[in-house]
Structure 1
Amino acid sequence: MLDHPTSALPEKFSQTGLYRDPVQEIPSDRVMAYEVRYALYSDDNEKSRYLFLPPGGKIANHNAQEWEFPEGTLFFKTFYLTAMGNRAVPKRKIETRVLQRRSNGWQVGVYQWNTAGDEAFLTNGSEIRLPFQLPLGNYVYTIPSRLMCLACHQPQKDFVIGFEMIRLSGVLDENGGEQLRRLADRDIFTQPIADTKIEIPGPEVEREAIGYLHGNCANCHNPHSPVFSTTALDLRFTLLKENTVNVRPEKFATNDSTQVRIKPGAPEESLLFQLLARTFDDGTQFMPPLGTSRTDTVGIDLVRRWILSLGTAN
C-alpha cells in the first residue's frame, strides 16, 4: 500500500506495509514513528503512532496551528490493551486505525488484530465490543465504528488529531533528541520550523492542565466543530484560559445564573470541572463522550489542582 497510498484500503493489515515484521512490530523504513504530549485518555491503554508521506509530499504548515496534509498521507495508530496500567499483564494489540488522505478527502479504516498478533483484518465499519477479564475486574474494549471515528475527526480543520506543533514539541526520541527537530530535519514541512520547543505559558500545573484539556476536549470544542454552535466553547490551548476563567456559559443550559465555566479556587462550582468529573455510573453525559469507559482520575485531579491554584493566584 505504501507504493500506492491512495488505493483502496486492503482487507489484511499486512498488505498496508507498515510492519516488516508484525509480531515484533518492526516498522518499514518508509514510515516515521512519533509520540504526542497531552494524549487523549483511553482507559490507560497504550498506543503507537506512525506517519507515512508520499515521495515529495510535504505538510503545509504556513498556519502553525492548523496543518494540512498532502494526498497520499497515511496515519497509523495501534491500540494495546494494557489492563488499565497494570504492567504485570502483558499488553496485547487490539486494533489499528488508519487515516488515508485521498484527493476527495479522508478515508478511515479500522483493523482488528487476531489473538496471535500476526495479522489484522479490516472491519466492516461497525462498532465491536470485546469483553475481557482483567485483574481489576470486567472490562469491555470498544473498537469504534466508522461513524464514531468521523465524529471525532471531522471537526478538525484537516481531519487529523494530535499531529500538531504543541503536541509534538517537547517529546524526546530514543536518542534524547528533540522529536519535532528530527521530523523537521526530514524536510517534511513546506515552511521551516525555527523553534521546536513550544510550551504553554504559566506555572507547571497550569501548563499541564491546559494541555490535558486541549488534548482531551478541543477535538470537539473548537470553531470547526458542530458542537461549537451549541456551546460556543473553544478549548484549544491558545484560547482556553480566556474562554473559561470567570466566563459565563453562553449557550449551555444551567439553572444557576451565577455559574461560570471555571471559578478560580472552586473546582466543584466550575461548570467545566463538573462536566469533566461526571462518572460512568451516574447516568449523565460524561466528557469526553467517546473513546473511553473509565473515569480518568489522574486527569480530573490535575484540572482540580489547577482551578484551586487560580484561587491562590488571585
Structure 2
Amino acid sequence: MRRGPGKAQVGWRVGVVAVLPAAMLIGAGSLGACSSSSGSTPDGTDDGDGNAPDLGPRGGGDGSSSRDAEPDVSSDAFPVDSGSDAQQPSDAAPDVVTPIDTGPPLDCTAVGSAGEPKELGCTGLYASWPDRSIAPSARPFTPAFTSWSDGAYKSRWIYLPPGTKIDTSNMDEWRFPVGTKIWKEFRLGNLRVETRLLWKKTNSDWYRTAYVWSRDQSSATENTAGVVNIWGTGYDVVPQSDCSLCHNGHLDGVLGFEAIGLSAAGASGFTMSALVSEQRVTDAPASSYEVPGDATARAALGSLHANCGNACHSNSNYALAKDSGLFMRLRTDSLGSVAATDTYKTAVGVASKFQPPGQTGFLRIKENDVAHSTIPYRDGYRDTSGERIQMPPLGTHKVDTAAMNAVKAWINAM
C-alpha cells in the first residue's frame, strides 16, 4: 500500500536547491549504522541498544593485515577531510590527480564468478577510461544526508536501464529495475581509493563489490577481501562479506538513493524532482518530503536517518536492528512534526539497558543532558580492544565530529 505524504511537505523545487545552513552540512555517518539487537549489556542483560555485535576479525587483502594504531596521514599526499562529504560536496572536493600512467588497455573479457567485470573501467561508469570521463547514462546524485566514511570524499552515480522505472508504490521501500547500477567513489585528498558497485542482476539478486585503485591511479581492480589501512592512511576498504550487514536493511538493498534523502533541501543531481519530471518512478508524490523541525532538529534527524536508520535501526522487517525498539529511519508518512518521527518516539526519554561501565542514569536520549544520553556516548566512542561499545560497530575508526555536534546541539536545545 502506498503511504501518503507527511503534513510538513512543501512543493517541488525546480533547479538547484538552496544551500543548507552550516549546522546541517554534516557527514551523518558515525551515528549508529549497522548496530545489532543481539548484544548483551555490561550487566549481562540483552537489549536492543546493548553492546555492539561481535562481527569477527577484520582481515586485509591478503587475510593477514591488522590495524593497531592510527597512521600518520598529515602529508600533502593524503589530506583527510575533518568533516564529511556533505561539508565538501563532490563538485568542490580536491581534484583527482592526473594518472601517472594510463596503464595497460582494459581487459573487459576478464570476469568474476558472478559475471562482473574484474576492472572498474568495464562496468559502464566511464565513457572513456583513459581520461576518466563519466558516461552520460551514469547520473550523478548526492542525497541531502550522507553517511560518514572516516573523512573520505565521495561521489555517486546511478544507471537506470532505458525505459524502466523505480517501483515507488511503497515510498519508503523502493524497488529498482533489473539492470540498475549504482557506483560510489571514495577519495582521500586527491587520490581515488575505492569505487563500490551495486548491480541488480535479477529481481532478487544484487551483486555488491569494490574496485580498489592503485596508488598511481592507473588501474582499479575488483577486491572482495578488503584492505585494512590502505596505503597507511587508516582507511579500510571493507570486505565484500560486510556489505549485506547494512544493505539488507532495505527491501531492495539500496540505502542512499531513497525518497527523503533525495527530496530534502541539500540534495543535488538526480534528485526526487528529477526522477518525477523524467517519469522514472511509478508513483510520484504530490509534494516534496522535508524533514521537520528547525535547522538544529533537521540536522540531527537527518544524520541519524542516514547512518542509523537507513541501514539498521528501523521497524522494517529487513533491518538488522529491527528487534531493538530503537528506530531512527525517517518515514514519509511521519514528517508532520519532530515528535511524530520514530527517532523522537523511540529515543527521547526512553530507558536504555546499555549503561557505560561504572555509570548509571543513561537514557537513549536524555533531554538537555548529553552527558547521560546513550546515543551520543556510543557514537562518540571507538573500540580499541574489543569493547563492543562503538556505533557503528564496523567500517569506521574515527568519529564524525560534525554529526556528533549536530546531535548534541539538538539534545541541548530540548
- Cα distance in structure 2, aligned partners of 1:145 and 1:308: 38
Q: Does 1:221 align with 2:320?
A: no
Which is worse superposed, 93-102 or 232-241? 232-241
- Cα distance in structure 2, aligned partners of 1:204 and 1:17: 39
- Cα distance in structure 2, aligned partners of 1:118 and 1:158: 33
- Cα distance in structure 1, aligned partners of 2:179 and 2:230: 35
**CA drift at 1:291:** 2.3
In the superposition, relative to structure 1, how do residues 261 and 70 fare at CA in structure 2: closer, same or farther (>3 Å)?
same
After superposition, residues 26-37 of structure 1 pair within 5 angstroms as: 26-37=133-144
**CA drift at 1:279:** 3.3
Q: Does 1:111 align with 2:214?
A: no
Cα deviation, 1:255-282, whole Å, max 9, x if unaligned, reads: 8785421111001111222211213457
Question: What is the SS of the residue equivalent to 1:121?
Answer: strand
**CA drift at 1:194:** 2.9
Equivalent residue number for residue 8 of structure 1: 115
After superposition, residues 1-314 of structure 1 pair within 5 angstroms as: 8-22=115-129, 24-82=131-189, 91-103=190-202, 104-123=204-223, 125-132=224-231, 139-169=233-263, 170-171=265-266, 173=268, 179-196=271-288, 198-218=289-309, 219-223=311-315, 224-229=318-323, 231-237=324-330, 238-249=341-352, 252=354, 259-281=362-384, 284=387, 285-310=389-414
- Cα distance in structure 2, aligned partners of 1:160 and 1:172: 17
Give the conservation status (yes or no) of the 8 Å contact 2:230–2:237.
no
- Cα distance in structure 2, aligned partners of 1:25 and 1:184: 30
User: Amino acid of the residue matched to residue 301 of structure 1?
Assistant: N
In the superposition, relative to structure 1, how do residues 155 and 267 fare at CA in structure 2: closer, same or farther (>3 Å)?
same
In the superposition, relative to structure 1, how do residues 23 and 253 fare at CA in structure 2: closer, same or farther (>3 Å)?
farther
**CA drift at 1:115:** 2.6
- Cα distance in structure 2, aligned partners of 1:172 and 1:155: 22
Question: What is the SS of the residue equivalent to 1:222?
Answer: coil
Give the conservation status (yes or no) of the 8 Å contact 2:379–2:399.
no
How many residues of Structure 1 are paired with residues of Structure 2 in the alignment?
Answer: 285
User: Amino acid of the residue matched to residue 171 of structure 1?
Assistant: G
Give the conservation status (yes or no) of the 8 Å contact 1:112–1:122.
yes
- Cα distance in structure 1, aligned partners of 2:243 and 2:179: 19
- Cα distance in structure 1, aligned partners of 2:118 and 2:298: 42
**CA drift at 1:46:** 0.7
Tell me the percent identity: 29
The normalised TM-score by structure 2 is 0.64
Question: What is the SS of the residue equivalent to 2:236?
Answer: strand
**CA drift at 1:65:** 1.5
**CA drift at 1:80:** 0.7
- Superposition RMSD in Å: 2.3
Q: Quick check: which one's strand share is greater? A: 1
User: Amino acid of the residue matched to residue 195 of structure 1?
Assistant: S
Q: Quick check: which one's helix share is greater? A: 1
Question: What is the SS of the residue equivalent to 1:242?
Answer: helix
- Cα distance in structure 2, aligned partners of 1:293 and 1:48: 21
User: Amino acid of the residue matched to residue 105 of structure 1?
Assistant: D
User: Amino acid of the residue matched to residue 196 of structure 2?
Assistant: R
Question: What is the SS of the residue equivalent to 2:345?
Answer: helix
In the superposition, relative to structure 1, how do residues 116 and 194 fare at CA in structure 2: closer, same or farther (>3 Å)?
farther
- Cα distance in structure 2, aligned partners of 1:40 and 1:132: 23
User: Amino acid of the residue matched to residue 269 of structure 1?
Assistant: H
Give the conservation status (yes or no) of the 8 Å contact 1:184–1:192.
yes
Give the conservation status (yes or no) of the 8 Å contact 2:355–2:374.
no
- Cα distance in structure 1, aligned partners of 2:178 and 2:410: 41
Cα deviation, 1:170-204, whole Å, max 9, x if unaligned, reads: 23647xxx9332232222111124323x2211111
Which is worse superposed, 282-291 or 65-74? 282-291
- Cα distance in structure 1, aligned partners of 2:266 and 2:129: 25
In the superposition, relative to structure 1, how do residues 142 and 271 fare at CA in structure 2: closer, same or farther (>3 Å)?
same
Unaligned runs of 5+ residues in structure 2 are 1-107, 109-113, 331-340
Give the conservation status (yes or no) of the 8 Å contact 1:108–1:149.
yes
Cα deviation, 1:235-290, whole Å, max 9, x if unaligned, reads: 112411111111123x6577878542111100111122221121345753211122
Give the conservation status (yes or no) of the 8 Å contact 2:201–2:207.
yes
The normalised TM-score by structure 1 is 0.83
